[in-house]
Amino acid sequence: MAKRVDKNHKELVAALRKIPGVTVFSLADLGKGVPDICIGYRSFTILAEIKSAKGRLNPLQTEWHFTWTGTPVVILRDTDDIVELIKTLDTFYVELGHSIAEAIDTNN
């Protein structure tokens, strides 16, 4: 049985997929507090929870987020949040001197 997703889930996934270089994999069917989507962009992997404007994490999500030892889970509520996420990742990419991408580029 598929987990219930927020009404803006499809809209935000579609918006992410329109951004050049972004890949998105849905994790929504996993349930059990696991974030809704996995985003790939410029060698970064981001787990994101999609919530409505006033949506809150349920107890399973809260527990999962606080016990996850990887990069903190991002909460996306609208396309403004997506723009901010991509800007932040672009900044990190530039500040790191492209070292992440170069480290995994097998053509070098």
**pLDDT beyond 50 at 1:** no
Percent of the chain with pLDDT over 70: 84
Is the pTM above the cut of 0.85?
no
23 DSSP 8-state letter: E
Report pLDDT for 5.
Answer: 72
Kindly report, residue by residue over 19-64, the tens digit of the pLDDT.
999 999 999 899 899 999 999 998 899 999 999 999 999 999 999 9
Report pLDDT for 58.
Answer: 93
Beta strands in the chain (DSSP E): 23-26, 37-41, 44-50, 74-76
Domain 9-104, architecture per CATH: 3-Layer(aba) Sandwich (3.40)
Report pLDDT for 22.
Answer: 97
